[in-house]
Amino acid sequence: MSNYVHIFDTTLRDGEQSPGASMDDHQKIEVAHQLTRLGVDVIEAGFPMASEQEFESVRRIAREIRGPRIAGLARAIRPDIERTAAALENAEKPLIHTFLATSSIHMEHKLRMTPEQVLENVIGAVTLAKSLIGRVEFSAEDATRSEWDFLVKVSQAAIDAGADVINLPDTTGYTTPGEIRRMFEYIIGKVKHDGHVIFSTHNHNDLGMAVANALAAVEGGARQIECTINGIGERAGNTSLEECVMAMHTRHDVLPYETGINTKEIYNSSRVLSNVTGLVVSYNKPIVGRNAFAHEAGIHQHGMLASTTTYEIMTPESVGRAKSELVLGKHSGRAGLAKRCEELGYTLGSDEISALYARFIKLADQKKEVFDDDLRLLLLGVRDETFQTYQLGKLTYSGKEQSAATVELVHGESRRSESAQGDGPVDAACVAIEKIVGVQGKLETFQMRAASPGKDALGEAHVIVQFEQRPFTGSGVSTDIVEAAVLAYLHALNKYLALQRG
């Protein structure tokens, strides 16, 4: 058996199902290009049947991305499969990923189907998918709570119908490492195929064991891990791509497997996704968290000064984290700015360079040192303007408790100002925005952090705002933390208004 493990990235599909993590078309393309630089084998671009917007997003990714396979998700029904095939028609290497639940819980309560009916549907779905697209993956939803012998029957039926990949997901994050390893060993040992079929593992993190379960599945014979950047996903999230890859990379002595991942793009990928979605990475997140390579305790610092191997089992550089991110200052030119953006994984058009340079010079006048994360956030702001309905013109505020704020919003050629009072300057400014736009939102989450070192750092604000019972994320950056928060709220509002426009 080959020791190569395929990395199937589902950040744009399962990951995007995280509350507040939805992305627009442009953001999905940006993440897809970064995943290509990262070197994933498969990008699951979305669920084309979910909406017209989702269909168009998958179709655009299929048209633009070259290198990885591009997968689309489809339920085991004809309309889904045909719609997914249409979305993937321009892909270099298309893949239809179809699924049906196999556990008694799901068959009885959700599907209301007998095991025989499930088998019949699996055969029909895979046969149809294979007739439309040359490569097909079948997933037995809730596999880890299914009867193993039934999984053997379902897997065999899917393979006989033409499936190239069999995925046995831990849909609810229920299993344990020893259990999932034995399951894969059992199923693979019982199923008959000519050696071309790849068995895949897809794990959720409800009990905090997604990475451990994925690695155990590989030890049991799986040769594909379905995962997401930063481990984002429904409920407690999915298997973390960076943790799995670096576990195999760092502990190759006990996990002797290979991947095609360019590990030096891991940190970049994490930051791109965090900036796009507004989902902040925990400071103590393995591999990509801010503190992952930080050492504060005196005994640790002493050891690090003697040898980095005393407390670091991998280097920051191995995952693309530079020890010093200082790159630019106010005397840097457009060419240097564009070059550094390219090194960070962003290819800019001339209009974007001009818009970014104007923002960069303004920031460089405010602070002496412009860091990589500053640059990422500036670029995110430039690109968000492509769909913005309202932009912040002016903001003034006063007071600490019963505060007042005046906000001017720019909408096309028009400008409108309103004043309001609130419990603080941010609250007052948001009320003023709502008076201008005529839409009210409910702030669910508000986070603020420094984007880079120093007292003059950009303040990076992330919010989740409920509009009509639906969450929208927003991000904003400024050296003024109140302005950063107001920009984040306006960003979320613009997403809602863009959705309303259709």
Q: pLDDT tens digit string along 184-195?
A: 999 999 999 988
Residue 288 lies in a domain: no
Residue 183 lies in a domain: yes
Residue 269 lies in a domain: no
Residue 55 C-alpha from the chain's centroid: 18
Residue 33 lies in a domain: yes
Are 339 and 478 within one domain? Answer: no
Q: Give the span between the Cα atoms of 443 and 467, in whole angstroms.
A: 9
Are 376 and 473 within one domain? Answer: no
Are 374 and 478 within one domain? Answer: no
152-156: average pLDDT: 98
Are 37 and 162 within one domain? Answer: yes
| Mean pLDDT value across the chain | 87
- Among 383, 401, 434, the domain boundary falls at 383
Distances (CA, A) of 314 to 70, 250, 286, 362: 31, 7, 11, 37
User: Domain containing 245 — which CATH number?
Assistant: 3.20.20.70
Are 465 and 372 within one domain? Answer: no
Q: Give the span between the Cα atoms of 44 and 223, in whole angstroms.
A: 17
Vertex 345 angle, CA 339 and 350, to 5°: 50
Residue 485 lies in a domain: yes
Q: What three-state secondary structure class fits 277?
A: helix
Are 99 and 159 within one domain? Answer: yes
Residue 289 lies in a domain: no
In the numeric block, the tokens 């020890």 are attached to 323
Percent share of the chain, pLDDT over 70:
88
Which is nearest to 34 in space by CA: 201, 230, 165? 230
Top-confidence residue, 122 or 331: 122
Q: Write down the pLDDT at residue 295.
A: 46
Alpha helices in 278-311 (DSSP H): 298-306
Q: Write down the pLDDT at residue 299.
A: 43
Q: Write down the pLDDT at residue 304.
A: 42
Are 211 and 232 within one domain? Answer: yes
Residue 272 lies in a domain: no
> Could you tell me if 84 and 106 are in contact, meaning their C-beta atoms sit under 8 angstroms apart?
no
Top-confidence residue, 149 or 310: 149
Beta-carbon contacts of residue 324 (< 8 Å; ≥ 6 apart): none
Which is nearest to 10 in space by CA: 196, 200, 158? 200
In the numeric block, the tokens 């965090």 are attached to 274
Residue 297 lies in a domain: no
Q: What three-state secondary structure class fits 450?
A: strand
In the numeric block, the tokens 């990928």 are attached to 269
Are 232 and 372 within one domain? Answer: no
Are 250 and 355 within one domain? Answer: no
Q: Write down the pLDDT at residue 298.
A: 44
- What pLDDT digit, counting tens, does each position of 348-395 carry? 788 888 888 888 887 777 766 677 767 776 776 676 555 567 888 899
Top-confidence residue, 185 or 462: 185
Alpha helices in 167-209 (DSSP H): 177-190
In one-letter notation, the amino acid at residue 402 is Q
Q: What three-state secondary structure class fits 154?
A: helix
Q: Write down the pLDDT at residue 263.
A: 97
Q: What three-state secondary structure class fits 180?
A: helix
> Could you tell me if 472 and 494 are in contact, meaning their C-beta atoms sit under 8 angstroms apart?
no
Q: How many domains does the chain have?
A: 3
**Residue 364: other Cβ atoms inside 10 A:** 18
Alpha helices in 278-349 (DSSP H): 298-306, 334-343
Q: Give the span between the Cα atoms of 102 and 9, in whole angstroms.
A: 23
- What pLDDT digit, counting tens, does each position of 51-99 carry? 998 999 999 999 999 999 999 999 999 999 999 999 999 999 999 999 9
Is 217's pLDDT higher than 60? yes
Is 138's pLDDT higher than 70? yes
Are 338 and 423 within one domain? Answer: no
The two three-digit tokens of residue 63, written as one number: 């048209």
- Among 205, 232, 258, the domain boundary falls at 258
Residue 223, domain extent: 6-258
Q: Give the span between the Cα atoms of 8 and 266, in whole angstroms.
A: 15
> Could you tell me if 473 and 279 are in contact, meaning their C-beta atoms sit under 8 angstroms apart?
yes
Is 308's pLDDT higher than 80? no
> Could you tell me if 70 and 88 are in contact, meaning their C-beta atoms sit under 8 angstroms apart?
yes
> Could you tell me if 91 and 135 are in contact, meaning their C-beta atoms sit under 8 angstroms apart?
no
Beta-carbon contacts of residue 135 (< 8 Å; ≥ 6 apart): 69, 93, 94, 95, 96, 164, 165
- Among 383, 410, 432, the domain boundary falls at 383
Are 379 and 484 within one domain? Answer: no
User: Domain containing 484 — which CATH number?
Assistant: 3.30.160.270
Are 340 and 483 within one domain? Answer: no
Q: Look up the pTM and report it.
A: 0.76
Helix (H) or strand (E) holding 500: helix 481-501
- What pLDDT digit, counting tens, does each position of 316-325 carry? 888 888 654 4
Q: Give the span between the Cα atoms of 351 and 355, in whole angstroms.
A: 6
